[in-house]
């Protein structure tokens, strides 16, 4: 692949897991990287890790940001553009789940908060990044979906619905922004070995339900996802937009995992 020398990138959720891995990959390829997240101490440690892998000429900075707060997002986008005056890449990775359990017993506030974090947070990032990218008529935006956006996950309805929403949001944004030279795609990871998922990857019935439904039955790595995000971010994919790329060992060919043993189903 060609490098990303001189390009700027914003990675939300960049303090850990997949976001950190992708930020590290961008910096290793020469980009000026800004990582955003809610916890400054975690971001500070992540900056050190990214700097250790960065190519000569790359730079790394942080922006404390809650993606559900529009002013925070606007500030993070502006910070990411500081090295060159432009923003070339957005990876809207921040997300998670604040809800779990049967639909009929779900707490409405937790359900809404999950949708707000994943879907509305991604919308706000696209809104403000695209405004900046339109000035130069170029840019690549990558959203973070999941196999849960395509395949049902029992007892995780808010997470699944919000990830499905991201996939449609990406399509709408790609349709609207293409005329401005901006590409919008998403990645759809399966289970990945991160701190967030360690309670599953350590073993047990939920992990076995993953393996039963994966043609290539192994846990993914952060580097598996970073390679796909890097492709969508860079010049190798200049005619790719409105797509969702599954990186899941083929899991979406079958059925979703069963979280019942964890969530009371």
The catalytic residues are 159
Instruction: Report the distance separating Cα 189 and Cα 30, nearest Å.
Output: 25
Q: Is 25 left (phi over 0), alpha (psi -120 to 50) or beta?
A: alpha
Question: What gap in Å lies between CA 147 and CA 55, rounded to an integer?
Answer: 32
List the beta bridge partners of residue 37. 64
Beta bridge partners of 184: 141
- With the CA atoms of 135, 138, 140 and 141 taken in that order, what torsion angle do they form, in degrees rounded to the nearest 10? 30
How far apart CA 89 and CA 142 sit, in angstroms, is 8
Kindly calculate the radius of gyration of the chain based on its CA atoms and give it in whole angstroms. Answer: 18
CB 187 within 8 A of CB 229: yes
> Are the C-beta atoms of 59 and 35 separated by less than 8 Å?
no
CA torsion 187-135-172-243 (nearest 10°) is -30
Burial of 246 (0-12, 13-18, 19+ CB in 10 A): buried
To 5 degrees, how large is the angle CA 240–CA 243–CA 196? Answer: 120
């Amino acid at each position: 692949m060609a490098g990303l020398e001189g390009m700027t990138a914003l990675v939300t959720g960049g303090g850990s897991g997949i976001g950190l891995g992708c930020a590290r990959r961008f910096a290793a390829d020469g980009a000026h990287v800004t990582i955003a997240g809610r916890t400054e101490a975690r971001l500070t440690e992540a900056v050190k890790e990214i700097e250790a892998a960065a190519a000569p000429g790359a730079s790394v900075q942080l922006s404390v940001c809650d993606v559900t707060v529009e002013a925070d997002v606007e500030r993070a986008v502006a910070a990411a553009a500081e090295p060159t005056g432009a923003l070339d890449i957005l990876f809207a990775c921040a997300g998670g789940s604040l809800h779990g359990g049967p639909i009929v017993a779900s707490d409405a506030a937790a359900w809404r908060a999950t949708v707000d974090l994943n879907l509305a947070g991604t919308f706000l990032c696209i809104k403000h990044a695209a405004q900046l990218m339109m000035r130069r008529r170029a840019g690549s935006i990558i959203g973070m979906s999941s196999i849960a956006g395509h395949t049902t996950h029992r007892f995780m309805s808010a997470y699944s619905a919000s990830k499905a929403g991201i996939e449609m949001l990406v399509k709408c944004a790609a349709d609207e922004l293409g005329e401005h030279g901006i590409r919008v795609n998403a990645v759809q990871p399966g289970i990945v070995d991160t701190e967030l998922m360690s309670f599953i990857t350590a073993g047990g019935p939920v992990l076995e339900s993953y393996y039963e439904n994966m043609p290539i039955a192994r846990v993914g790595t952060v580097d598996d996802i970073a390679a796909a995000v890097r492709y969508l971010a860079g010049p190798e994919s200049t005619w790719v937009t409105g797509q969702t790329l599954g990186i899941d060992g083929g899991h979406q060919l079958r059925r979703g995992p069963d979280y019942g043993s964890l969530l009371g189903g």
